[in-house]
A = this chain, B = another copy of it.
Amino acid sequence: MVTAILLINAERTRINDVAEQLADIEGITEVYSVSGPYDIIAMIRVTTNDDLADLVTNQLVKVDSIVKTETLLAFRTVSKHDLEAMFSIGI
Binding site for B on A (CB under 8 A): 2-5, 12-13, 15-16, 19-20, 22-23, 29-38, 41, 49, 52-53, 56-58, 61, 66, 68-83, 85-87, 89-91
- Copies of this polypeptide in the complex: 10
6 nearest CB pairs, A to B: A53-B75, A35-B71, A34-B72, A23-B78, A32-B74, A36-B72
Residues in B with CB closer than 8 Å to A66 are 12
Whether the Cβ atoms of B3 and A71 lie closer than 8 Å is no
Q: How far is the CB of A72 from chain B (nearest CB, A)?
A: 4
Contact A33 B16 (CB under 8 A): no
A70, A74, A81 — most chain B CB neighbours (10 Å): A74
